[in-house]
Structure 1
Amino acid sequence: MPTAFIKRHRDFLAGLILVIMAFLFMGKALFPAEGRMLYGFDLERLFYPFGEFMFRAFRAGKLPLWNPYVFLGFPQYAEPQLSTFYPATWLLTYLPASSAYALQYTLHFALAAVGGYVFIRRLGGKWAGAMLGGFAIAYALTMTVRIFVGHMPHVMTLAWMPWCLAAAHWAVEKRTWWATIIAGVPLAMAFLIGYIPFLILMIPALAIFVLWLAFEAWRAGDTRGALRIVLQLAALGLFAALLAAIQLLPSLEFASMSNRAANRYNFSDSYSIQWSFLLTSIMPDLFGAPQGTVELWLQNLPGAIYWEWALYGGILPLVFFALAWSVGRKQWRFWVVLGLLGVLLALGDKGVLHRLLYDYVPGWSWFRFASRPIYLFNLALAVLAGLMLDYWFDLPAERHAALAARLKRALLGLGVLLGLLVVLSVFWQGAQTEPEQVQIAGAISEQLMRLLFFLAVSLGLLIWGYGRPRWQVAALALAILVIDLWGQGNKFITDVKQEPELGWVMADIILPENRLDYRVLSKALAENSGYFYDFYSIYGYDGFTLEASERLHELAVSDARVARMLSGQFLLHGPWWELPVIAPGWEVLTEPAGVTIYERDDAGPRVFIVHEVLGAVDAEQAWAFMADPALDYTRTAVVEMLPDTNCLIDPAGANESATITSYQDDRVVIQATAAGGGWLVLNDLMYPGWQAWIDGQPVVIQPTNYALRGVCLPAGTHEIVFEFHPSILRTGAVLSGLALLLLVAALFFAWRHSRQPA
């Protein structure tokens, strides 16, 4: 390939190489053997079942608004990390699951790497360093380890971080309204992915970066320019929120009613990094590494959450990080400070900063967030590696010679120290008799030798690579980092048989075919997988769900009246989780293939009529009433009385009935006959957006039995229809549509500007 062509298209070729590398990294996971798919704990148990429900709706030309199969009903469109409105999610609609999720990871590793390249180039880095930095951003351990645990939205969200920074930097440089609007698109994409814990990290990080640009302008005497940059930041954030309003507004409504809305500090601080785990910044597997499945691994590694405490970003970037303050340009010290700030935040209660943010930043308390800011450390490592690589090899010869002499002494000293530690660890390993101690000693020896190797080759490159052609230096640096980071990341890519869980298979064979007549409880099974067999579950698997469904589930396990009220007829218990204390009335039906299936013979119907109403002023009073052991849900409904509503309740009569005649995801039709006025209860979860009609006339749905749906039922025979029409989705869609029109206008002005002579 001619040299002139390479120089002219250098950035394009660099980006293309980074994209190809993402496909090489995921490798065979993109084309697994028949019947196999990429392994990931949450991928298998959470995103795969919800994803199949979503794609089924897309293929039918609908939105996956309400999922009736889990949690007594679930507003799937509003659960942020399911990314319903994110364009890349739609691309997977017609792909087989065996390849779809591996492709999603691949695209976002490529996106992160190219975004890192673009951002470092914008900061003044040359192509060689930008490639190194882009690679380091994409394949730091905090990214690749997410494959093993199935945290797909983590990777997807963080992939947009370098693009957010690059776009903001570009908008500040352009100083135009249209550039500011366009620069909000990457942040809007991150909003649409919806993984809020990292959004809470990304937004302050972006704000800090842009405010630092404003500070630099102010320090240079450009006060108006500094103010303009601050206003651009506000406009960028506002536009991003508007463009993503179709997801943001429903997600905020969902979060306000979620199990995270009233958490304590010990929840927010959980998974914060221990001081000792900072050693994993140089020896990533010092305390163990994933093996087999998550369950097996956790049994062998108690108390350590590898994927939450992953802060390894490579030895070569760490060397550049250490050199940046004293050797690099002064403005690069910003990244050193940002990286150390991320470490301080990740320490949680062991550092004061996390507690201050918990107390004063809205939404911070909703998530187990403590360790996540370590991404800022990885980001800083990657950016400084990208900036420092070319800077180091462009140093004047005398300056480099002086620094190289210091590095030689450091290499000698550290090499001797690490060599001694390796020898001692080998002798220690030989002195052990217990297998566990032998394994620990061996792991320490291996990590010390690994550190010695990568430290030697990294410092060796900086010492003896000076004066060589830049492409050789770039190739060597990238090769070192590929061996380092891919050596860590490749072990997280494994596949499993794409086969149904045995417990659900047996339940499908044994339990009654009319699944609408009852609900199931499942323990130690993949709760969401009942969807594949049309089972309706009282609970499900998702760390971010509605508080009401969580409370009712807990009661259903221990209170026979609630289990009966929720039509809980069968309980499935797998072999790897101890069954909690359960309510009386559950009897063993059968025990096929290690799965115990319990049954109760008093499960109530999905819809029923009562003729006694106990009024409550709010949800908490309703919950308190439900604690009364004398309350009989077959006779009495606890109703949260809404303003301007009243209902004539008559005594129960003979020949009353309520039957579901049509049950769709977001529409339920009931035929009911009552001798006198009563209260009709549908034991599906109540949520904003549900509306009801009786014989075509709209009626008010009132929260019943804490969080179920209930309507006042007049005497006679009636058709009752429940439909899900969330108004907040319409509002979000209108706002996103207006923002999209504004984006089109901004793109037009950008195009017109590009055609003007320079």
Structure 2
Amino acid sequence: MTIDFKKNILPHAIGVAIFYAIVAFYFSPLLLEDKVIFQGDILKWEGSAKEAMDFREATGEEALWTNSMFGGMPAYFISMEFPGDITNAVVSVLSLGLPHPINGLFLGMVGMYILLLSLKVRPTFAILGSLAFALNSYNLLSLAAGHNAKIWAECLIPLILTGVHLAFERKRILGASILALGLLLQFKFNHVQITYYTFLILGIYVIVRLIFEWKKEGWASLGKTVGILALGTFLAVGGNIGRLATALEYSKYSTRGEVTIESKEAGLAKDYAFGWSNGIMESFTLLIPDFYGGGSSSPLPKNSATETALRQQGMDPAQINGIVQGAPTYWGDQPFTGGPIYGGVILIFLAVLGIWAAPKQTLISFGVIIVFSLMLSWGKNLSWFNYFLFDYFPYYNKFRAVSMALGMTLFAIPVLGIISLEKLITEKQTKSLMMAGAVTGGLILLFIVGAGMFRYAGAADQTLPDWLLGPLREDRKSMLQSSAFRSLGFLAAAFALIYFTVKGKINDLILGAGLFVLVLADLWTINRPYLNNESFDVSPSQSYFSATPADKEIEKDTGYFRVLDLTEGLMSAGRASYRFHAIGGYHGAKMRRFQDLIDYRLSDELSAFLSKAQEGDFDFEGIQTFNMLNTKYIIAGNAANAVFENQAANGAAWIPSDIRTVTSNEEEIKVIGEINTKSTATINKEEFGQIPAGSGSIELTSHAPNKLTYSANMNQGGLAVFSEIYYPVGWTATIDGEKSEILRTDYLLRGLSLPAGQHEIEFQFAPDSYYSTKTPMIIFQYLILIGLIAGIFFTIKDENGRA
């Protein structure tokens, strides 16, 4: 095969250069000014990961456990590395050295470009589809929020599907290797929900191909393709076996896993899982960005109805400006949103065009993905469908924020749209163009003319005075109409370009360049209010984690204890985890037993404590569950005098004088709300038998995240309780060097049955799920690279043979 530089290399080099330039320009503060994106979720992650990262830097080893939040939990989903892991180097090479997390957007463009080329789309159109895929508002809003793993996982979907498609095109080794590489990286970023959606996409695509091609190809040939794709998936699993094994191990004990309280159901509660359900009508934000008012806090234009109403109430200009710049314009079904999920009116138009222009197999494959993913995103708003899936579809009840399924939608729309454009231009389908233009444009016009049919009432309205509701709703209506006119303008411009190309008035290159400018301008101007130069900071973590007088006051105590930070709360803490062992935290998959403790004990105890504290009564004896977790300090503010020391905290370990036996988890969590946890402990006799009470003393002598040592002097043998979270896998205990069973006491603490006398006790965390998988994992990663090289070699050899 003779390589024509102008035909075979130059267009692709230009495409990659364009992708790199767009990402570099949009995120120039990150590249040129040494700034970073201010991401709230990432800051909280940094707080939770600090202990594990510090331990790694100091020892060169992995902690695998952290005490930085929720009393202690595995660090598998927080910060974990594997010696010899080559995925970071692969990411750096593929993204041409762009920094995290914007390198994900670049690789998403490259992956979509490769996919569209493999689907026989010309380079100019493939560049257009790649741009639309990576720069949709969902990705940029996610980036602003700090959902970096989600963005990376979504941006790898095109590369993964490329592998599947090439395998069906009889480039089996290359296809399986690309599939393996894409899944290897997606598994690395450990966003299980997006990977679940990815396999739904692959399943739909494969089923449609099998239906359409079994007569032509025959089951033997298709069986080979499916088999080698299964091999590629197996290699990807092997290349991440350490991550997957630890995740699978932990999932059973997390909020996504097995039930503990007997009256509860396994998995997530429906209300929690479907809390972020996209409204059915809200899906029209894909076409008209401000259909539902933009974000939960969005600026209104000058002299808006809201601003006029505020002036009439006599408010001062500064107060008016503050309200107008962060008005509650969103009136959709979700609790709040950072901004609209906008797919780009031009790409929506092209996807609609696919109804008439796209090949039947393409239309069914990607049309089904679009419709199915929209139905998933509607969640509780399409309860008959989604509650059925939640109850019966494998593993579906492990996920929350079902609006995340829109990532599937925003992947399929540009694929279907660009293939439809290619087919239209190739075959000069004027009628198809007219039909798509009439449907899309007519729908937008309908919303412009019929904007008065909506109530524009949102959940935020309940907190607003009656005199403000009318003006605010009028502004929401104006936003819809203005946004619809905007979409109509972009649609008209794109329609004109395509029409004149079909009629032979302009060439394909001008069409591609014109549509590129339109799509870029459309997405850029929608995204910019939500992620712009003001979203960057030189060092947000430095200011966020800067030590307050309260922090410095606690740091005077060099002992072993936990901290409750009331300034952030139990479920969203991040700062306290940076410096201290914290009771609160921020994580999407807490240990289920700790969540039970929050639901049944901690929330009520804290509420009662705060109620009394407001009257000057600091009832530390009334927070017995906090005491058993060794909560020695409570932070109520930043000042040094806003730190309250809890003298009633139980300490690192103690010997209870009384044992209350229980027979169920439900009984046990009730009992610990009735006892003094220092003098009395609970044991589930159905699981651990009868354990006697003892007497004596015990103290912590050394501690690290994965290893704790104690010295005990027992006058009488019996139960010792440790203020450490019980996790049944990976932790081992020795008493004077002899292994001993770790008991669960007080619902989620560790306990040991100690004989009389003096003893040295050691707890160590060394899970097999990590240590037995780390070497095979690296071997599989190199096998994937070897397979990729072999696939490229055989593909080139095959092409040369055909030339």
Q: Normalising by the residue count of structure 1, what TM-score does the alignment of the two structures yield? A: 0.84
Q: Please tell me the residue identity of whatever aligns with 1:592.
A: A
Residues 732 and 765, structure 2, Cα contact 8 Å, conserved in 1 = yes
Q: Does 1:259 align with 2:255?
A: yes
Deviation by residue 1:15-48 (Cα, 9 ceiling, x = unmatched) = 2321332222222134456xx6412231222x23
Match of 2:627 among 559, 564, 585: 564
Matched, 1:107 2:103: yes
Aligned residue number for residue 508 of structure 1: 551
How has the CA–CA distance of structure 1 residues 298 and 518 changed in structure 2, closer, same or farther, with 3 Å as cutoff? farther
Aligned partner of 2:187 in structure 1 is: 191
1:25 — aligned with what? 26
CA distance in 2, matches of 1:152, 1:754: 34
For residues 455 and 369 of structure 1, do their structure 2 counterparts lie closer, same or farther at Cα, with a shift above 3 Å needed?
A: same
Cα distance change of structure 1 residues 670 and 490 upon mapping to structure 2, 3 Å threshold:
same
TM superposition shift of 1:408: 7.6
Alignment of structure 1 residues 276-287 onto 2, 5 Å: 276-287=281-292
Q: Does 1:637 align with 2:681?
A: yes
Distance 1:291 1:272 in 2: 15
1:337 to 1:556, Cα distance in 2 relative to 1, 3 A: closer
- Separation in structure 1 between the aligned mates of residue 792 and residue 111 of structure 2, nearest angstrom: 22
Is contact 2:43–2:574 with CA below 8 Å preserved after alignment? Answer: no
Q: Which residue of structure 1 aligns with residue 524 of structure 2?
A: 486
**Cα–Cα, structure 1 residues 234 and 453, in superposed 2: closer, same or farther, change >3 Å?**
same
Q: 1:544 aligns with which of 581, 585, 589?
A: 589
Q: Which residue of 1 aligns with 2:402?
A: 370
Distance (whole Å) between structure 2 residues aligned to residue 356 and residue 234 of structure 1: 29
In the TM superposition, residue 644 of structure 1 has moved relative to its aligned partner by 8.7
- How far 1:573 sits from its partner (Å)? 3.9
Say if 1:284 and 1:662 are closer, same or farther in 2 by CA, change over 3 A: same
Letter aligned with residue 633 of structure 1: T
Deviation at 1:409, TM superposition (A): 6.8
Match of residue 459, structure 1, among 466, 472, 495: 495
Q: What residue is the counterpart of 2:8 in the other structure?
A: 8
Q: Is the 8 A contact 1:128 1:389 kept in 2?
A: no
Q: Cα offset for 1:737? A: 4.1
Residues 1:317 and 2:347 aligned together: yes
Q: Give the letter for the 2:8 counterpart.
A: R
Counterparts of 1:87 and 1:389 in 2: how far apart (Å)?
41
Tell me the secondary structure at the aligned position of residue 758 of structure 2.
Answer: strand
The number of equivalent residue pairs is 713
**Match for 1:269: what amino acid?**
F
Q: Over residues 472-510 of structure 1, what are the superposed CA-to-partner deviations in whole Å (9 max), with x where a residue is unaligned?
A: 221111111111112222333213544444896132133
- In terms of mean alpha carbon deviation, does 512-521 or 732-741 score higher? 732-741
Structural mapping, 1:571-650, within 5 Å: 571-573=634-636, 592=639, 596-616=642-662, 619-620=665-666, 622-627=668-673, 629=674, 631-640=675-684, 649-650=693-694
Q: For residue 548 of structure 2, give the secondary structure of its aligned residue in structure 1.
A: helix
1:124 pairs with 2:120: yes
Contact 2:277/2:334 (CA < 8 Å) preserved in 1? no
- Cα distance in 1 for partners of 2:204, 2:655 equals 58
Which of 564, 576, 598 lines up with 1:521 in the alignment? 564
Question: 1:448 Cα shift?
Answer: 2.5
Give the structure 1 partner of residue 612 of structure 2: none
What does residue 580 of structure 1 align with? Answer: none
Aligned ranges for residues 84-103 of structure 1 at < 5 Å? 84=81, 103=99
Does residue 439 of structure 2 align to residue 439 of structure 1? no
State the alpha-carbon separation in 2 of the partners of residues 661 and 679 from structure 1: 19
- Helix, strand or coil for the counterpart of 2:581? coil
Letter of the 1:568 partner, please give it: T
Instruction: Give the deviation of 1:549 after TM superposition.
Output: 2.0
CA distance in 1, matches of 2:238, 2:480: 51
Distance 1:502 1:180 in 2: 45
Match among 357, 368, 385 for residue 327 of structure 1:
357
Tell me the residue number matched to 2:163: 167
Q: Deviations over 1:581-633 (max 9, x none)?
A: xxxxxxxxxx739x954443312211222344344566555434424x1x332
Instruction: Name the structure 1 match of 2:784.
Output: 743
Structure 1: gaps spanning 5 or more residues: 95-100, 426-430, 575-590
Name the residue aligned to 2:57: 59
Q: Residue by residue, what CA displacement relative to the aligned partner does 1:493-548 show, whole Å, maximum 9, x if unpaired?
A: 2135444448961321333522534321123426222233x311112111221112
In structure 2, how many angstroms separate the alpha carbons of the residues matched to 1:309 and 1:215? 39
SS in 2 for 1:184: helix
- In structure 2, give the amino acid aligned to 1:480: L
Farther-moved stretch of structure 1 (250-259 vs 503-512): 503-512
- Using a 3 Å threshold, how does the CA distance of structure 1 residues 709 and 424 change in structure 2: closer, same or farther? closer
Give the unaligned 5+ runs of structure 2.
258-265, 300-322, 455-466, 606-621
Does the CA-based 8 Å contact 1:349-1:355 persist in structure 2? Answer: yes
Measured at CA, do residues 58 and 20 of structure 1 come closer, stay the same or move farther in structure 2, by a change above 3 Å? farther
Residue aligned with 2:161, SS: helix
Q: Does 1:715 align with 2:760?
A: no
The 8 Å contact of residues 153 and 193 in structure 1, kept in 2 or not, is answered as yes
Q: Is the 8 A contact 2:296 2:339 kept in 1?
A: no
Post-superposition Cα deviations, 1:47-78, rounded to whole Å, max 9, x if no partner, equal: 23235445434434222411112111121124
Counting only pairs closer than 5 Å after superposition, residues 96-495 of structure 1 correspond to structure 2 as: 103-174=99-170, 176=172, 180=176, 183-220=179-216, 222-261=218-257, 262=266, 263-290=268-295, 301=330, 304=334, 307=337, 310-334=340-364, 335-351=366-382, 352-396=384-428, 399-400=429-430, 402=431, 435-437=471-473, 439-466=475-502, 467=504, 468-493=506-531, 494-495=535-536
Distance (whole Å) between structure 2 residues aligned to residue 129 and residue 517 of structure 1? 61
Counterpart of 1:740 in structure 2: which amino acid? Q
- Does the C-alpha gap of structure 1 residues 88 and 440 become closer, same or farther in structure 2, counting only changes over 3 Å? farther
Given that 1:343 and 1:374 are in contact with CA atoms closer than 8 Å, whether structure 2 keeps it comes out as yes
Once residues 413 and 179 of structure 1 are traced to their aligned partners in structure 2, the CA distance between those partners, rounded to angstroms, is 42
Amino acid at match of 1:340: V
Bigger Cα displacement from structure 2, 636-645 vs 265-274: 636-645
> Against the structure 1 CA distance between its residues 458 and 178, is the aligned structure 2 distance closer, same or farther, given a 3 Å change threshold?
closer
Opposite residue 777 of structure 2, the aligned amino acid is S
Counterpart position of 1:583: none
Superimposed CA distance per residue, residues 90-135 of structure 1 (whole angstroms, 9 cap, x where no aligned partner): 57999xxxxxx99322100011111001111111111111111111
Cα separation, partners in 2 of 1:23 and 1:246, compared to 1, 3 Å:
same
Higher relative contact order (CA 8 A, sep 6+): 2
- 1:683, 1:708 within 8 Å by CA — same for their partners in 2? yes
Change beyond 3 A, Cα 1:378–1:360: same
Given the two structures, how large is their TM-score scaled by the length of structure 2? 0.80
Determine if contact 2:545/2:575 at 8 Å carries over to the other structure. no
Deviation at 1:87, TM superposition (A): 6.4
In the alignment, the residues of structure 1 paired with residue 737 and residue 414 of structure 2 have an alpha-carbon distance, to the nearest angstrom, of 62
**Are 2:724 and 1:684 equivalent residues in the alignment?**
yes
**Residues 522 and 185 of structure 1: CA distance in aligned 2, closer, same or farther (over 3 Å):** same
Alignment partners' CA distance in 2, 1:408 and 1:175: 37
Q: Secondary structure at the match of 1:511?
A: helix
Check 1:26–1:186 CA distance in 2 against 1; reply closer, same or farther (3 A cut): same
CA contact 1:74–1:685 (8 Å) conserved in 2: yes
Residue number among 46, 49, 54 corresponding to 2:47 in the alignment: 49
Tell me how far apart the structure 1 counterparts of residues 437 and 394 of structure 2 sit (CA, whole Å): 49
Q: Partners of 1:293 and 1:673 in 2: how far apart? A: 63
Q: Deviations over 1:166-209 (max 9, x none)?
A: 01112333465675355222113212211122122111111221
Q: Identity over aligned residues, as a percent?
A: 20
Distance 1:748 1:675 in 2: 68
